[in-house]
Structure 1
Amino acid sequence: MKTHARDKVTIEGICDYAGVSRFTLFSGFKEYFGDSPLGWLKKYRMTQVRHALMNSNSRTKVSSMAMEWGFNHFGRFSQEYQLFFGELPSQTLSQNKEV
């Protein structure tokens, strides 16, 4: 999933690739990660966006970075980012520029 994290990922695609049923996939993820497969993927993507923003240059746009990692609804992305990290993505980016 990490290799294809920027792509459109579906439960069916994961099941086909792994050769397991939906039930097995969900129960395995719940047991090992405490989350659903797509929940885990969202957290992974959010973390990757944050790392990218923290290591970006002054020309980086938050919306471009979000879209690169599969977030197509910028308003929703921004709200969820704030829930995950306690700040807006633009704040993460501007803190990087101040350093």
Structure 2
Amino acid sequence: MCLKSNCNHKICNYFRQSTTLMGISCFIGACIGKMLDVLSDEQAIALVTASIPLWVSERSNQVKTEMIAAEIIHNLPDLQKGAIDVQKNISNPR
């Protein structure tokens, strides 16, 4: 792994993400805490379980969010028309 600040390797970028670092910290902390008998089984399992979502790349979430935003923008005229129809139906119930 590169230690250069301008490294563009995917693995380097992954490990520089704050959520990845927090996930690693929680996981290592849970393992060490359990080995030293500072944490109970339940506490260690809770920390490891809580760290799992932090291992997901921030970029993958960003891509999903951008795809959803693009769909909303693409369908905005239909959404506006549907919202107006709903408002009319609420204002004038049959």
The two structures share one fold, judged by TM-score above 0.5: no
* Greater C-alpha Rg: 2
Structure with greater helix share of residues: 2
